[in-house]
Structure 1
Amino acid sequence: MKIVVNLDVMMARRKMSLGELAQRVDITMANLSILKNNKARAIRFSTLEAICAALDCQPGDILEFVPDGEGEP
Protein backbone atom coordinates (compact mmCIF):
# COMPACT_ATOMS: atom_id res chain seq x y z
CA MET A 1 0.00 0.00 0.00
CA LYS A 2 1.10 3.53 -0.58
CA ILE A 3 -0.06 7.11 -0.54
CA VAL A 4 -0.09 8.81 -3.94
CA VAL A 5 0.18 12.59 -4.17
CA ASN A 6 -2.09 14.02 -6.87
CA LEU A 7 -0.78 17.55 -6.54
CA ASP A 8 -0.24 17.90 -10.28
CA VAL A 9 -3.92 17.10 -10.92
CA MET A 10 -5.13 19.82 -8.54
CA MET A 11 -2.61 22.32 -9.92
CA ALA A 12 -3.88 21.63 -13.46
CA ARG A 13 -7.51 22.03 -12.35
CA ARG A 14 -6.67 25.39 -10.79
CA LYS A 15 -4.40 26.36 -13.71
CA MET A 16 -1.57 27.08 -11.28
CA SER A 17 2.12 26.63 -11.99
CA LEU A 18 4.61 25.03 -9.65
CA GLY A 19 6.32 28.39 -9.18
CA GLU A 20 3.09 30.19 -8.32
CA LEU A 21 2.07 27.52 -5.81
CA ALA A 22 5.54 27.53 -4.25
CA GLN A 23 5.31 31.29 -3.79
CA ARG A 24 1.79 31.17 -2.30
CA VAL A 25 2.70 28.35 0.10
CA ASP A 26 6.15 29.78 0.89
CA ILE A 27 7.99 26.55 0.11
CA THR A 28 10.92 26.01 -2.22
CA MET A 29 10.16 24.81 -5.72
CA ALA A 30 12.55 21.90 -5.11
CA ASN A 31 10.60 20.68 -2.07
CA LEU A 32 7.27 21.18 -3.82
CA SER A 33 8.59 19.26 -6.83
CA ILE A 34 9.61 16.36 -4.57
CA LEU A 35 6.07 16.27 -3.22
CA LYS A 36 4.50 16.58 -6.68
CA ASN A 37 6.59 13.73 -8.07
CA ASN A 38 5.69 11.31 -5.24
CA LYS A 39 9.25 11.31 -3.87
CA ALA A 40 8.33 12.77 -0.45
CA ARG A 41 8.34 10.49 2.56
CA ALA A 42 6.39 12.88 4.79
CA ILE A 43 4.52 16.18 4.76
CA ARG A 44 3.85 18.55 7.62
CA PHE A 45 0.24 19.32 8.36
CA SER A 46 1.04 23.03 8.18
CA THR A 47 2.38 22.57 4.63
CA LEU A 48 -0.64 20.47 3.62
CA GLU A 49 -2.93 23.12 5.11
CA ALA A 50 -1.18 25.89 3.14
CA ILE A 51 -1.37 23.89 -0.10
CA CYS A 52 -5.08 23.19 0.43
CA ALA A 53 -5.73 26.88 1.14
CA ALA A 54 -3.81 27.96 -1.98
CA LEU A 55 -5.57 25.42 -4.21
CA ASP A 56 -8.97 25.75 -2.48
CA CYS A 57 -9.26 21.99 -1.96
CA GLN A 58 -9.36 19.28 0.70
CA PRO A 59 -6.44 17.02 1.72
CA GLY A 60 -8.28 14.08 0.11
CA ASP A 61 -8.14 15.90 -3.23
CA ILE A 62 -4.35 15.75 -3.06
CA LEU A 63 -3.60 12.53 -1.16
CA GLU A 64 -4.86 9.11 -2.28
CA PHE A 65 -4.44 5.72 -0.62
CA VAL A 66 -3.66 2.92 -3.09
CA PRO A 67 -3.86 -0.65 -1.70
CA ASP A 68 -1.22 -3.20 -2.67
CA GLY A 69 -1.69 -4.62 -6.16
CA GLU A 70 -3.89 -1.80 -7.47
CA GLY A 71 -2.63 0.36 -10.30
CA GLU A 72 0.13 -2.10 -11.19
CA PRO A 73 0.30 -3.72 -14.64
Structure 2
Amino acid sequence: MISYKPFQKLLIDKEIKKMDLKKQAGISAATMAKLNTNEYVSLEVIDKLCAVLECQPGDLMEYIPENK
Protein backbone atom coordinates (compact mmCIF):
# COMPACT_ATOMS: atom_id res chain seq x y z
CA MET A 1 0.00 0.00 0.00
CA ILE A 2 1.17 3.52 -0.73
CA SER A 3 0.75 6.00 2.11
CA TYR A 4 0.84 9.76 1.64
CA LYS A 5 1.57 10.45 5.33
CA PRO A 6 4.95 11.99 4.43
CA PHE A 7 3.05 14.41 2.15
CA GLN A 8 0.82 15.46 5.05
CA LYS A 9 3.87 15.95 7.28
CA LEU A 10 5.66 17.96 4.59
CA LEU A 11 2.72 20.35 4.33
CA ILE A 12 2.80 20.88 8.09
CA ASP A 13 6.57 21.36 8.13
CA LYS A 14 6.44 23.88 5.27
CA GLU A 15 3.32 25.54 6.73
CA ILE A 16 1.42 25.19 3.45
CA LYS A 17 -2.36 24.99 3.43
CA LYS A 18 -3.96 22.31 1.25
CA MET A 19 -6.18 24.88 -0.49
CA ASP A 20 -3.14 27.00 -1.42
CA LEU A 21 -1.24 23.96 -2.67
CA LYS A 22 -4.24 22.85 -4.72
CA LYS A 23 -4.26 26.20 -6.53
CA GLN A 24 -0.49 26.38 -7.01
CA ALA A 25 -0.22 22.82 -8.33
CA GLY A 26 -3.37 23.03 -10.43
CA ILE A 27 -4.95 19.90 -8.99
CA SER A 28 -8.60 19.26 -8.22
CA ALA A 29 -10.32 18.91 -4.87
CA ALA A 30 -11.03 15.26 -5.78
CA THR A 31 -7.31 14.63 -6.28
CA MET A 32 -6.50 16.26 -2.96
CA ALA A 33 -9.12 14.00 -1.34
CA LYS A 34 -7.40 10.95 -2.86
CA LEU A 35 -4.12 12.03 -1.31
CA ASN A 36 -5.84 12.33 2.07
CA THR A 37 -7.24 8.78 1.82
CA ASN A 38 -4.17 7.06 0.30
CA GLU A 39 -5.88 6.37 -3.03
CA TYR A 40 -4.09 6.18 -6.38
CA VAL A 41 -2.97 9.44 -7.97
CA SER A 42 -1.12 9.70 -11.27
CA LEU A 43 2.56 10.44 -11.63
CA GLU A 44 1.51 13.67 -13.32
CA VAL A 45 0.00 14.78 -9.99
CA ILE A 46 3.12 13.69 -8.10
CA ASP A 47 5.21 15.67 -10.62
CA LYS A 48 3.13 18.82 -10.07
CA LEU A 49 3.35 18.49 -6.29
CA CYS A 50 7.12 17.96 -6.41
CA ALA A 51 7.54 21.06 -8.57
CA VAL A 52 5.54 23.26 -6.19
CA LEU A 53 6.96 21.78 -2.98
CA GLU A 54 10.52 21.50 -4.38
CA CYS A 55 10.88 17.91 -3.24
CA GLN A 56 11.34 14.35 -4.49
CA PRO A 57 8.52 11.78 -4.90
CA GLY A 58 9.87 9.85 -1.91
CA ASP A 59 9.22 12.93 0.22
CA LEU A 60 5.49 12.60 -0.55
CA MET A 61 4.82 8.90 -0.17
CA GLU A 62 6.00 5.66 1.36
CA TYR A 63 5.37 1.99 0.67
CA ILE A 64 3.79 0.03 3.50
CA PRO A 65 3.70 -3.75 2.98
CA GLU A 66 0.32 -5.33 3.57
CA ASN A 67 0.15 -8.26 5.95
CA LYS A 68 -0.33 -11.53 4.10
Partner of 2:63: 65
Higher percent of residues as helix: 2
TM-align CA RMSD? 1.4
Partner of 1:36: 36
Read off the aligned partner of 1:33 and give its amino acid letter: A
How high is the TM-score relative to the length of structure 2?
Answer: 0.82
Identity in percent: 24
Matched length: 66
Q: CA offsets, 1:27-67, max 9 Å, x none?
A: 122321221232x2x22111101101111111001110112
Unaligned runs of 5+ in 1: none
Read off the aligned partner of 2:20 and give its amino acid letter: E
Higher percent of residues as strand: 1
Unaligned runs of 5+ in 2: none
Larger radius of gyration: 1
Partner of 2:2: 3
Q: Is the 8 A contact 2:4 2:62 kept in 1?
A: yes
How high is the TM-score relative to the length of structure 1?
Answer: 0.77
